[in-house]
Every structure is written in C-alpha cells, then in structure tokens.
Homo-oligomer: A and B are copies of this chain.
Amino acid sequence: MFSKACKYAIKALIYIASRSNDATRISLRDIAAKIDSPEHFTAKIMQVLSKQGIVSSIKGPNGGFYIENDAPPIKLLDVVRAIDGVQHLSGCGLGLKECSAHQPCPIHNEFSEIRGQMLTMLRENTIQQLAAELSAGHAVLKH
C-alpha cells in the first residue's frame, strides 16, 4: 500500500507526537529503536518531513525532533503526500496515463471508490490522534 519509507514516516511521527507534549526533543536513535527502523534511512525521511515543515528539529546536545503542542493537526494524508507523492494516491489503478470517467480503465469505478475511502481515512486521521492511542496503550509501533 505505502512504501516502507512512508510507513517509517508515519510511525516516527506518531512516536514523536506521543512524546513531545512537554516540548522534549526526540533523538533519531530513540526513534529508530522505538519504531524498529534503520537509523540512517529514517534520518533521510525525517529530513524530508522537516523540510516540509511537518516536524521540527534542533541540532546539538539535547537536540532532536519534536512537534509543537500548538501545531495544527497533521493528517496522514500530509505525510503520505510528502513521502510517497500525490500520484501514489491519484494515479489509475491499472497504470493508464489518462484514466477518467470518460475514458476509463476496466476497474475505474471500483477502484475510484476504494481510493476515495482511503483518501477519506487519510484525511480524517491525524498523527496527534493516533499518538494519543499509542500513549493510552491502545496501540503499538513494533512487533
């Protein structure tokens, strides 16, 4: 469904959000350990998220990543778009360059419906909400 990079991104953000209530900074090492991801690969992903303004970071001792308490809700859609790109969520299910209601691929309608539901889900769920689930012990990020 999503690339590994995107899965790491979502998990990293949920973990950061679950820990940055008091503006603590979360180190890469900690993130990678908690979400069970390759540290340097995760670093690359965090850089993208940081450049896009989805997460904040500070270098140096006691540095790390964090999400402001008053930051606007981060939709899963924002993350997927930042890492996997828009075409991942808009392209034709069978890979046609021009697939539309007017000139549809054979599964156009069926696929559009499911994708619509996926988009709705990605819009309705935010990193902060999911982080709360994690904090409440209702979910886990590894194993």
B1 A106 Cβ-Cβ under 8 A: no
Known: A106-B14, A117-B114, A130-B106. Contact between A4 and B95, CB under 8 A?
yes
Q: Does A10 contact B (CB under 8 A)?
A: yes
Known: A114-B117, A117-B117, A121-B114. Contact between A105 and B141, CB under 8 A?
yes
B-binding residues in A (CB < 8 A): 1-2, 4, 7, 10-11, 14, 76, 93-98, 103-108, 110-111, 113-114, 117-118, 121, 125, 130-131, 133-134, 138-143
Q: List 26 A-B contacts (CB under 8 A).
A: A7-B93, A7-B94, A10-B94, A10-B107, A11-B95, A14-B106, A76-B107, A94-B141, A96-B140, A96-B142, A96-B143, A103-B140, A104-B139, A105-B139, A105-B140, A106-B130, A106-B131, A106-B133, A106-B134, A106-B141, A110-B121, A110-B125, A111-B121, A114-B114, A114-B121, A117-B117
